[in-house]
Amino acid sequence: MNRTNNAEMEFTLNHLPASDDRWLSVMDVENVRKALTFHRSFPQYEVTPLHSLKQMAKYLGVKGLYVKDESYRFGLNAFKVLGGSYAIGSYIAKKTGKDISELPYEVLSSEQFREEMGQTTFYTATDGNHGRGVAWAANRLGQKAVVRMPRGSAKTRRDNIAKEGAEVTIEDLNYDECVRLAASQAKTDPSGVIVQDTAWRGYTDIPSWIMQGYGTMALEADRQLLADGVERPTHIFVQAGVGSLASAVVGYFANKYKDEEPVMCVCEAGAAACLYRSAVKGTGETVKVRGKLDTIMAGLACGEPNVIGWDILRNHAAGFAACPDWMSAKGTRMYGVPLHGDPTVISGESGSVTMGFLASIMMYPRYEEVKKALKLDENSQILLISTEGNTDPMRFREVVWDGLYGVRHRGEEVVK
């Protein structure tokens, strides 16, 4: 892995031509409410915290800074289970001719229902969190899971998936190649179904359900902000791999606040910034990033955009950023060593990049133009999502204890 801390962030505003925006309805508020109702039926369900970082907001010069902490989600340390569980439930509902509202957890997990339906094997590719969520949901609902992981995947993440009873292997392939492998294996298995958190031509139903499942998190955060007196976030920064999470969050808030959308910016790992590169291309066509996708942000190491997600983002994201690894490491350390009075947030490398991005553009003069472009000021109410906790303990210690990807200020004065 390239451990340089000299790489720079790249940013572009969205100047893309609009499409017909036909996929925005996937994240309609009513669809998201249905997903939330499904998740509430699980005995493990609890609303994850929305932390107000009041001291950090003052330090960065904004009105409010809120972070949705997904390290508490279903005891799995990441948000991904929301999508995998809702997709599995929705697939079973479609297969049995029922509405998902008729199939809460107590029905899906019952022995009688499993005997009537039989078993399905859910195939997926993952860098860790999505596969664990699929395996967990399949295990709880009496189904099977087969998980393929790309080269370089952490053994801890692999072992956590295996603990859920899934068949799991680490392949000598990158993430996108693992997706193709899982899809081909599902196709040859009479009981197999691919449950992937990306979409391609001819494969849109399950990715749409996954995105709606992620919407539970956005709906919770929206309600928590309202309860704290924030009528509407002015800014939302959300990370992206293939773009399913980003488009779910952007899509929900674009539907909810049609008349005055928040300024929503997508942050990717620089080594796998397919959405940023697609935005720079400027035609509306997607750009695929090939190769090893070498980045500390394992959950964002995806080089091929979700076509549904891309369509939502090209119409509603204000900007796209390709973030270097040091920016993620900075975010992890800032969350983990908070200013006095703020809560500690344990955030893994893929969960913390938006914090590193926000802090960098507010603190470092070389990013002043990005700050202005995103209209950040003392009136900004900002929502971030920490999508994972400490899911790779060895890497987490390297970042927090050993200063992996420490920041050099290049002799510039920090704006404070």
Distance, in Å, from the CA atom of 313 to the CA atom of 329, rounded to the nearest integer, reads 26
Nearest to 63 by CA among 50, 48, 52, 49: 52
Nearest to 135 by CA among 74, 81, 174: 81
Nearest to 140 by CA among 107, 109, 119, 175: 109
The catalytically annotated residue of 34, 69, 127, 176 is 127
Q: Cβ contacts of residue 58 below 8 Å, gap of 6+?
A: none
Distance, in Å, from the CA atom of 276 to the CA atom of 273, rounded to the nearest integer, reads 5
The catalytically annotated residue of 34, 68, 69, 80 is 80
Distance, in Å, from the CA atom of 114 to the CA atom of 192, rounded to the nearest integer, reads 16
* Alpha helices in 61-198, H assignment, sequence order: 81-96, 105-108, 111-117, 129-140, 155-162, 175-188
| CA angle (230 as vertex; 225, 231 as ends), nearest 5 | 105
Residue in the structure block whose two tokens are 């081909």: 184
Distance, in Å, from the CA atom of 121 to the CA atom of 138, rounded to the nearest integer, reads 8
- Determine whether 127 is an active site residue: yes
CA distances (Å), 271 to each of 38, 139, 318, 376, 401, in order? 36, 34, 21, 26, 24
Continuous segment of H or E residues that includes residue 264: strand 263-269
| DSSP SS3 for 160 | helix
Q: Cβ contacts of residue 329 below 8 Å, gap of 6+?
A: 296, 349, 352, 356, 399, 404, 405, 406, 407
Q: CB burial class (10 A; 0-12, 13-18, 19+) of residue 101?
A: exposed
Catalytic residues: 80, 127
